[in-house]
Structure 1
Amino acid sequence: MMRNSMAMLFVAVVGVVIACYVVEGRFVVEKESISVLSPSDLRYTRHDASIGNFGVPDYGGSMVGSVVYPQKGSNGCSSFDGDKPFKSKSSRPIILLLDRGECYFALKAWNGQEAGAAAVLVADDRDEPLITMDSPQESSDANGYIDKIGIPSALIEKSFGDTLREAIQKGKEDVVIRLDWRESMPHPDQRVEYEFWTNSNDECGIRCDEQMKFVKDFKGHAQILEKGGYTMFTPHYITWYCPQPFILSDQCKSQCINNGRYCAPDPENDFGKGYQGRDVVIENLRQLCVHRVANESHRSWVWWDYVTDFHIRCSMKQMRYSKECAESVMESLDLPIAKIRSCMGDPEADVENKVLKIEQDRQVGEGSRGDITILPTLVINNVQYRGKLERTAILKAICAGFQETADPPICLSGALETNECLERNGGCWSDVRSNITACKDTFRGRVCECPVANGVQYRGDGYKSCEAFGPGRCAISNGGCWSETKNGQTFSACSDSDLSGCRCPQGFRGDGHKCADINECTEDHVCRCDGCSCKNSWGGYECKCKGDKLYIKEHDTCIAKNASKFGWFLTLLVLGTTAAAATAGYLFYKYRLRTYMDSEIMAIMSQYMPLDGQHNQVTQHEAEPLQQSA
């Protein structure tokens, strides 16, 4: 980890020379207290321990447990054998003592947790001031266990570690200690003030994923605390600056704004592709101004909505990390875009940016608070939080910052109702006419997802648009399609039988969301007969003939009305003749068919069944043997 300095790195010559500008800084180790309760000769002695920057410290609480030192694998770099390899002389929790060295601090804590330990102490192997145990910056192996560490861990001085090992080896009494975090978090008044040092870059690996997950998960808690006036939250963003000799280099120009004053590393670590560091700095500045402007209107908690939505809608992976996408998010949250632009100032100007200048000054620690050198970092009541950046762990640390009996209800109950959808529909899509919304409250805060309403599924981005699709869609807001009523007639571009989308009905033209009446009288195939006149109507047309004539639409022709009686006479005559001929034909056909069928049936039957004369002859012939025998 970076310790006692803040390094600002810039590439002066691509792939060859790295220029470092180092500013001496101060890193403060956050500590907990350890009291020895047994054996008797060590009782009541107190020692400091540095809180690990992973796992879950019990801020505001304490733990009493028996110390165990493994006979094999005392460095904790390998898994311990057995389901529960460590036992104490009592039923107290196991606090595992391990040696420093040979592997990551976090791996030691993970192996201890897997062996059933309730906490892990790492004894330093050198005489030096305590340092903070940090998790690996990048490691494919560590990715599998870092987020799973749920126990507290701490580094103790070498002398204290030697004392504990010696007491364990004597074995006369169980070595019992108390880990105490009750004074690790100050609580000066009834309001907790906390800061979150973060970055808008979402392509920086494990740490970026960690901080974005935290923002999404903690949003509901943060907004409840802030709306209730229990906390004051301030976001911060780390920036670097370009050394004077390299300001005009292509690298500094691509990674910095305001003539090298405020910089960020290239997201892909490749100057030739993707986004640049200056893109990150500008978005950092925008997010700072979102909080400032929202705070002026007493809606400071909207920052959490903006950052969450920006990460979802405008990620680098989707190539949407842009000003246009950012302002689209601001618009959906009813944020004043013009004010935010004014707050940001001109990134191209060779002047100090007021907002970012404050950020660089705040990076340097004041009083008891050290410099910000680990990203992300949470500062609660001016103390840097150590431990896992996880929703419940952070909530407990913040609650530990309240004075006793001054805890807000959220610190006493896990039940949450964020009710974000009640205010401007949470910035999500909604259909006021049908009272349908894409806003849904969850314990993590609101999400914008197109709903299923009355059995109809909606689809879209949930923020700006949701459209009904599938059967039954026309019953809800006409499926999002065009519909209009005039003079008692209603036409619609929605059809439950056509699920492909919105189509303008016959007589109209458009995209289905907007339809305009077609003037059929201008078409070549309408009312073109001699003497015809055309009159357009909404959704149709009407043709008339000159004089005393009747228009036949199917043939696009006009006929005289006085010829209709003769036409009827001819029609009846033809129909009567046709009916008579059909009847005669049927009777003739029926008689001939019946006669033919009777003769055919008789012929067939004669082959298998004897007629009357033949029957008598056969009967007599067959009876003769019977008479003789009689």
Structure 2
Amino acid sequence: MPIFIEFVALSLLLIVFGSNTPVYARFVVEKNSISVLAPESIRSQHDGSIGNFGVPEYGGTLMGSIVYPENGSTGCASFENNNPFKSRSYRSNILLLDRGECYFALKVWHGQEAGAAAVLVADNIDEPLITMDSPEENIDSDGYIEKIRIPSALVSRSFGESLKKASKKGDEVVIKLDWTESMPHPDERVEYEFWTNSNDECGARCDKQMDFVKNFKGHAQILERGGYTLFTPHYITWYCPDAFVLSKQCKSQCINHGRYCAPDPEQNFGEGYDGKDVVFENLRQLCVHRVANESNRSWVWWDFVADFHIRCSMKEKRYSKECAEDVMKSLDLPIEKIKKCMGDPEADMENEVLKTEQDLQVGRGSRGDVTILPTLVINNVQYRGKMERTAVLKAICAGFKETTEPAVCLSGDIETNECLERNGGCWQDLQSNISSCKDTFRGRVCECPVANGVQYHGDGYTSCEAVGPGRCALNHGGCWSDSKNGKTFSACPESELKGCRCPLGFRGDGHTCEDVDECKEGLACQCSGCSCTNTWGGYDCKCHGGLLYMKDQDTCIAKNTSKFAWFISIFVLAAVAGIGVAGYIFYKYRLRSYMDSEIMAIMSQYMPIDNQQNEKEKLR
């Protein structure tokens, strides 16, 4: 989502620093060609200002019939009926709407919902064409801006009137929207720039900016590795007016004595991070690209920025030099070279890297000043449309000469294999050959895996820990384990879902465990007449004088080994056994006799007829 910085971030700095001087930027309108094919009476060619949302058809064309609604011509309300402008023939319908009363993006959204293939907005005053932009994020309560997927353009008032007039007469007005020359393609390599910021405290817009980086990096790295593109990241900086260089506000927002500044991330000087923190991280990311480019690994910038956003977020209070250096280490980037590139932020002198950025921000030739953040500049033309993976790829591919585009421009299947190189900078357990590096069409991601039915949890970059049932069977759950003298001990407790704990007889944090000398530390064999010998994972305790050691009571007792004592013991046991057998026999037969008598009594109650018959037989 674009951020207008001319009147937001820049004006914030100027207000903070007390400047009343207005700042104006040179904005260049990017256009596409619109040809009227029918009716013959109005055949002509015109320009349309490409909307800064939706998906312009860079490199392509769209032919369709103009539809001008009789009611609701401003498009500020949803159109009734189901898809009233959906084409019923082979030719698409292009909706023509009037400017005014609501935001450009809302008009296009309503047109898309009504089935239009594209939307033209006719200006209501005679003026040079402007770029239709989207409203502020808080205006878009329904999130419709990101859902717009059709192209749109603003046309002049006079051109719009001619289209309306012909349409009202009942003529079929056929036009052709042509974006083939909207993106120049001077040679077989596309050069593009991405203007961005390391600050992630600007809400949903910053989140969408970083989503684009993560989603597009797979495409970007394929194009860069193949030599098809020359990519350069850029970061906008401002300067503090000389009169305010020593002010508290300037010192907190700028480096190099007010030469390079950024607005306070939280817009609150009393808390959180300062603008100078953002400037310094911007500088680091610029140097990451410069140094990586020197070693022919320029594409690593995409990995660094994506990983930094995940691991070093402002929201998580991890936005720091130390965290950035951890990311550099994981990607095998030379930290000292990057530090040298960054220079001294306290020095009262120009920084060569940031000075270049300030110069490049000003437009040269046909390109205007960079006034929208984030934005892309492709072959010296500012990209218009939403920052979305496939839309941006299409625009970059339109920058190649016909038949020279790489395969990635012709196929949606993206194959990357970043995990083979230094495991993608992700966590890895070499012993069990388990890795958190996952290869996707967007590039590699570091996510703790599920291996052999066991889930791992962690940040995916520096640590992953096995959790849940069965974890101890897989490399002892990442806990300490060792074997000696035929014994094996593990710090993975089977009864717990996570964590490591040294077993009894050992001491440590669960990842390293050392044998406890129970004898030396007085933890065992404290009884009189005992001798203690330490063993690995335990101890042996013996009693002097032939006494028997009782471990539970930690005491020694006498052994009774006389023949008479053995005879008495055996006799007593035999007697107890005999009594038990006799009791069982007595109980068994007594119980059986009792049960037989009871059964007979019960049967006699239920068989009186038989008994009576027997008595009669006796009387006969």
Q: Secondary structure at the match of 2:373?
A: coil
> 1:295: which partner in 2?
293
Within-5 A mapping of 1:445-464:
445-464=443-462
**For the Cα contact (< 8 Å) 2:14–2:20, is it kept in 1?**
no
Query: TM-score by structure 1 length?
Result: 0.89
**For the Cα contact (< 8 Å) 1:10–1:20, is it kept in 2?**
no
Q: Secondary structure at the match of 1:155?
A: strand
Q: Secondary structure at the match of 2:524?
A: coil
**For the Cα contact (< 8 Å) 1:191–1:230, is it kept in 2?**
yes
Q: Secondary structure at the match of 1:77?
A: coil
> 1:8: which partner in 2?
10
**For the Cα contact (< 8 Å) 1:256–1:278, is it kept in 2?**
yes
**For the Cα contact (< 8 Å) 2:86–2:116, is it kept in 1?**
no
- Deviation (angstroms), 1:334: 1.9
Paired with 2:602 and 2:236, the residues of 1 have a C-alpha distance of 112
> 2:38: which partner in 1?
38
**For the Cα contact (< 8 Å) 2:5–2:373, is it kept in 1?**
no
Percent identity reads 67
AA aligned to 1:512 is: G
Q: Which has the larger radius of gyration?
A: 1
Task: Give deviations 1:134-153, integer Å, cap 9, x for gaps.
Answer: 11133333652100111111
- Deviation (angstroms), 1:543: 3.6
> 2:409: which partner in 1?
411
Paired with 1:100 and 1:363, the residues of 2 have a C-alpha distance of 31
Paired with 1:254 and 1:94, the residues of 2 have a C-alpha distance of 55
**For the Cα contact (< 8 Å) 2:542–2:549, is it kept in 1?**
no
**For the Cα contact (< 8 Å) 1:6–1:22, is it kept in 2?**
no
**For the Cα contact (< 8 Å) 2:86–2:115, is it kept in 1?**
no
Aligned length: 614
2:79 aligned with 1:80: yes
- Deviation (angstroms), 1:346: 2.2
**Aligned equivalent of 2:202, options 188, 199, 204:** 204
**Aligned equivalent of 1:355, options 340, 353, 356:** 353
Paired with 2:375 and 2:588, the residues of 1 have a C-alpha distance of 103
**For the Cα contact (< 8 Å) 2:13–2:262, is it kept in 1?**
no
> 2:391: which partner in 1?
393
Contiguous gaps of at least 5 residues in structure 1: none
> 2:313: which partner in 1?
315
> 1:571: which partner in 2?
566
> 2:113: which partner in 1?
114
**For the Cα contact (< 8 Å) 2:86–2:114, is it kept in 1?**
no
**For the Cα contact (< 8 Å) 1:88–1:174, is it kept in 2?**
no
> 1:165: which partner in 2?
164
Within-5 A mapping of 1:57-68:
57-68=56-67
AA aligned to 1:580 is: A
> 2:146: which partner in 1?
147
Paired with 1:357 and 1:241, the residues of 2 have a C-alpha distance of 10
**For the Cα contact (< 8 Å) 1:62–1:179, is it kept in 2?**
yes
**For the Cα contact (< 8 Å) 1:60–1:184, is it kept in 2?**
yes
- Range moving further from structure 2, 326-335 or 434-443: 326-335
Q: Secondary structure at the match of 1:233?
A: strand
Q: Secondary structure at the match of 1:101?
A: coil
- Deviation (angstroms), 1:275: 2.4
**Aligned equivalent of 1:192, options 182, 190, 193:** 190
- Deviation (angstroms), 1:608: 8.3
Task: Give deviations 1:269-310, integer Å, cap 9, x for gaps.
Answer: 222332222222222112111111211221111111111112
AA aligned to 2:187 is: D
2:107 aligned with 1:95: no
Paired with 1:482 and 1:41, the residues of 2 have a C-alpha distance of 86
Q: Secondary structure at the match of 1:462?
A: coil
- Range moving further from structure 2, 575-584 or 366-375: 575-584
- Range moving further from structure 2, 78-87 or 352-361: 78-87
Within-5 A mapping of 1:379-528:
379-524=377-522, 526-528=524-526
Query: TM-score by structure 2 length?
Result: 0.91
> 2:46: which partner in 1?
47
- Deviation (angstroms), 1:125: 1.5
> 2:546: which partner in 1?
549
AA aligned to 1:246 is: F
Paired with 2:579 and 2:422, the residues of 1 have a C-alpha distance of 83
Distance 1:491 1:585, change over 3 A: closer
Paired with 2:212 and 2:397, the residues of 1 have a C-alpha distance of 17
- Deviation (angstroms), 1:329: 1.9
**For the Cα contact (< 8 Å) 1:137–1:206, is it kept in 2?**
no
- Deviation (angstroms), 1:209: 2.8
Task: Give deviations 1:58-81, integer Å, cap 9, x for gaps.
Answer: 111111111121111211111112
